[in-house]
């Protein structure tokens, strides 16, 4: 999920929400973990959720997960027309872990 717009236009609010409005990230993860829980105990499927969280400002991209959550690194990738790289990814196994990470990441944002 990617949000783009002018400074103070509501990107963070749209993505992270508030106490009364969960935001896109929480809505998506609610759906993902609901679907995961309904796969059933007897399922032969492995279900992994890996996330990265980046802050882009003045054409500078900062991977915010690299400060503390370095256990699961995503590999770099590039496209012939554009380049996008990941500095770090985090494996999430519960909605509670997601909420904890989002709280920490809010404090790490620089802009």
| Measured CA distances, 18 to 12, 23, 28, 103 (Å) | 10, 7, 15, 11
- Check the annotation: does 18 bind a ligand: no
- Check the annotation: does 70 bind a ligand: no
- Check the annotation: does 11 bind a ligand: yes
For the record, the structure tokens of 26 come out as 């929480």
* Helical (H) or strand (E) element with 16: helix 11-16
- Check the annotation: does 10 bind a ligand: yes
- Give the integer Cα–Cα distance in Å for 99 and 14: 16
Q: Which residue has the tokens 């915010």?
A: 64
- Check the annotation: does 83 bind a ligand: no
Picking from 66, 28, 64, the residue whose alpha carbon sits closest to that of residue 49 is: 28
- Check the annotation: does 8 bind a ligand: yes
Binding residues: 5-12
Q: Which residues are annotated as a binding site for ATP?
A: 5-12
């Amino acid at each position: 999920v990617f949000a783009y717009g002018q400074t103070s236009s509501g990107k963070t609010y749209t993505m992270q929400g508030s106490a009364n409005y969960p935001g896109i990230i929480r809505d998506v993860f609610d759906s993902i973990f609901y679907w995961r829980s309904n796969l059933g105990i007897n399922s032969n499927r492995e279900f992994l959720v890996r996330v990265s969280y980046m802050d882009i400002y003045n054409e500078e991209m900062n991977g915010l997960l690299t400060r503390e959550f370095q256990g699961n690194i995503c590999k770099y990738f590039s496209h012939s027309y554009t380049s996008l790289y990941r500095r770090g990814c985090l494996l999430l196994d519960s909605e509670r872990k997601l909420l904890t990470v989002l709280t920490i990441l809010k404090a790490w944002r620089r802009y």
